[in-house]
Structure 1
Amino acid sequence: MHYCKKIKVIFCVVALVLFSSSVLAEGSSLRLRSANLTVYEDDYLLNADAEINFGSEIEKAILKGFVFNFLIEFQLLTPKKYWFDDEVATVVQHVSLSYHALTRQYIVMRNDQQRAYATLDEALEDLSIIQDMKVFQEADVEKGERYQAVLLMRLDQKKLPKALQIEGMTSSEWKISSQRFEWTPNLFK
């Protein structure tokens, strides 16, 4: 009798773990994996990599022709000990993802450049790579100063159609936002 109770408890725990992982797998997620700054001439360029997964509701909405706009927000700060951090540079880049039903292609629009892909996975791969995004100039920073870089990527819910904005307020699947990715860049090598 005692072993039956233990087996039931173990079965319940295993079922709960399997159920929760399947629920999490279906949701949308956005996670920044890495970011760094490189120098090209007098400009600092941001390179970053993200992991983006869409849930079934978002995939259906894309196939229906809705455009999804993403914001890539970068900040360079000078940390202060007893006061607010000083903002050195703030840059926001807009990237959009849509589906063109006539050509059956997924379109990624970044900096007035349009790229077409045959599958959603290919389009998400392009969307997840931030490459050579100009964020500030060498004249904006001082040698010997310590800086903090902050990067955030998120779905711009304000640009969704009104029907999807309302659904986005009630469903967590539509709240696609990365964690706040922070690092201390080595600006003067």
Structure 2
Amino acid sequence: MHCCKKIKQALIKQLSACFVACVLALFAATAFAGNSSLNIKSAELLALDDVYVLNADVEMKFSEKIEEAISKGFELNFLIEFQLAKPRKYWFDDEIVTVTHNVALTYHALSRQFLVIRGDQQKAFVRLDEAMDDLSYVSGLKVFHSAEIEKGESYKAALLMRLNTKKLPKVLQGDAIGSDDWKMSSQRFEWVPSLGKPESTK
């Protein structure tokens, strides 16, 4: 009987621990679900005639507050920041090229379409997830000319994408300060392009 009692107590403790762990995991998942995120999955440089273009695949998630702001017609502006530098052993890297590109996302209530705007070009989508798929893929973005680099030299490329909160309407800027719902900035994605040969990433 004494042995059975010990087994029963051990099972109760184990079940209690599992319950607490499940509750904590559910709480963490719920808390995380409300946050926005940006993550660069891959990036590459391709030679196109005398120009190098950037392709990148980005994973993004919008919080409920951001989705609500889009549905109300507020425009969101994202910055794509690319840098090419020549590494130097005993000093700071020599910056060769820095390019900043703006991409906007907005909702047009009359046509009930989501618009992704790149410069003077825009694409229309019926659903938000379709617009996000287009927004999250950087394709054929011209970043520098081949004349700006030297053959045989080693270079380091870096890419960052973030929500430009400074361009948010004033009514939203107050909410965006210090809020996880509006924190959308990717990691600094770095890789070593061979500029014409297969690239290695890290």
Pairwise TM-score range, normalised by the shorter structure: over 0.9
**Of 66, 87, 91, the match for 2:95:** 87
Mapped contact 1:143–1:188 kept (Cα < 8 A): no
Distance in 1, Cα, partners of 2:194 & 2:18: 50
Structure 1 outlier segments of 4+, above 4 Å = none
User: For structure 1, which segment, 101-110 or 26-35, has the greater mean C-alpha deviation from structure 2 after superposition?
Assistant: 26-35
**Of 120, 138, 147, the match for 1:139:** 147
Distance in 2, Cα, partners of 1:167 & 1:26: 14
Query: 1:62 maps to which residue?
Result: 70
TM-score of the superposition, structure 1-length normalised?
Answer: 0.96
Offset at residue 188 of structure 1 (A): 3.9
Query: 1:154 maps to which residue?
Result: 162
Name the amino acid aligned to 2:15. I
User: For structure 1, which segment, 148-157 or 73-82, has the greater mean C-alpha deviation from structure 2 after superposition?
Assistant: 73-82
1:53 counterpart = 2:64: no
After superposition, where does 1:21-60 map in structure 2 within 5 Å?
Answer: 21-60=29-68
Give the secondary structure class of the aligned counterpart of 2:83. strand
TM-score of the superposition, structure 2-length normalised?
Answer: 0.90
Query: 1:113 maps to which residue?
Result: 121
Offset at residue 19 of structure 1 (A): 1.9
**Of 160, 163, 166, the match for 2:174:** 166
Offset at residue 9 of structure 1 (A): 1.5
Offset at residue 23 of structure 1 (A): 2.1
Tell me the percent identity.
53
Mapped contact 2:81–2:160 kept (Cα < 8 A): yes
Offset at residue 16 of structure 1 (A): 0.8
Aligned length: 189
User: For structure 1, which segment, 91-100 or 168-177, has the greater mean C-alpha deviation from structure 2 after superposition?
Assistant: 168-177
Offset from partner CA, 1:122-176 (integer Å, 9 cap, x none): 1001101101100011111111211100000000000001221111113111010
Distance in 2, Cα, partners of 1:59 & 1:45: 31
**Of 8, 11, 18, the match for 1:10:** 18
Offset at residue 111 of structure 1 (A): 2.1
The unaligned stretches of length 5 or more in structure 2 are 1-8, 198-202
1:75 counterpart = 2:87: no
The unaligned stretches of length 5 or more in structure 1 are none
Give the secondary structure class of the aligned counterpart of 2:177. helix
